[in-house]
Copies of this chain bind each other. A is one copy, B any other.
Amino acid sequence: MPPVTTRSEPRQSRPQRVAEAIKQWVMDEGWQPGQRLPSESELIARFGMAKGTIREAIRILEAQGLVASRTGPGGGVFVHRVSEARAIALLGNYFYFADLSLDDIYQLRSLLEPELAAGLAGRLSEAQLARLEAAIAASAPPAVDPDDEAARHAASLAFHAELAAMAGNPLLGFVIRFLAEMLGEVTVARGLHSATDPALWERGLACQTELVAALRAGDAERARAVLREHMATAHRMMRDREARPARRFLRDRVRG
């Protein structure tokens, strides 16, 4: 080790640096999803490092959802567009440590969803409206056993996911779906899906039905108002049980 030659932080491991370099490379060249990166052996030659080092770098990129690899001829490492499911899972990791409350989640939902609905009023096709109605039907009574209860809760969240998917704003849609996912984790992780007040549940369903009507009619103001009330209802339904969500990582359902 020579004297103090202004070492510029070689503190990152080699795989991390290689991963960063490849990422920058992809960005500079403007490579698109589906395009193939150089093969392992080419990367070994290019970076002058051992196979294991290069492989670890690729794993880092893979964990971020930025590349995917396949074996065999025609295989290799490919640029991959980060899937929403993976982005949600990665972000969920962050909030695993954050100690969120139901109030935190519902505050955001109450801010965003009414606005989303207002923006969609009069802009949905019949097919889209039908999908929303199907989600409502799937979450409708009668309730039978606890499993059925859970399924209907999931369907109710699906309604909001559908709505979010129709958002013109990808950011808004993502945040709403993420919140719904977090909420779903909370409800299944604890027994919050059971013992719901039937009257409140009915009320929620009525809100959703009226919302679809307002969307079809193109009445933005009414859509906003209805969803605002729906959020309040749902929040009330959850409140005064556990105040803290269970600490869990979100499952990453993604293969790519």
- Interface residues, chain A, CB within 8 Å of chain B? 11-12, 15, 19-20, 23-24, 27, 30, 33, 52, 55-56, 59-66, 81-82, 84, 86-87, 90-91, 93-100, 103-105, 107-108, 111-112, 115, 169-172, 174-175, 179, 247-249, 252, 255
Contacts and interface: CB of A to CB of B under 8 A. Distances in A.
A65 to B, nearest CB: 7
Given A104-B169, A115-B111, A249 B27 contact: yes
Contacts of A27: 247-249
A249 B79 CA distance: 13
A97 B64 CA distance: 13
Given A15-B59, A33-B97, A107 B66 contact: no
A143 to B, nearest CB: 30
B255 A104 contact: no
Given A27-B248, A90-B91, A249-B27, A169 B108 contact: yes
B97 A81 contact: yes
B171 A108 contact: yes
A12 B253 CA distance: 12
A95 B171 contact: yes
Given A52-B55, A87-B93, A98-B171, 16 more contacts: A15-B59, A56-B59, A59-B60, A59-B63, A60-B63, A65-B94, A86-B94, A87-B90, A90-B91, A103-B169, A104-B170, A104-B171, A107-B172, A108-B112, A108-B172, A171-B179
Nearest to A83: B94
A86 B66 CA distance: 15
Contacts of A23: 249
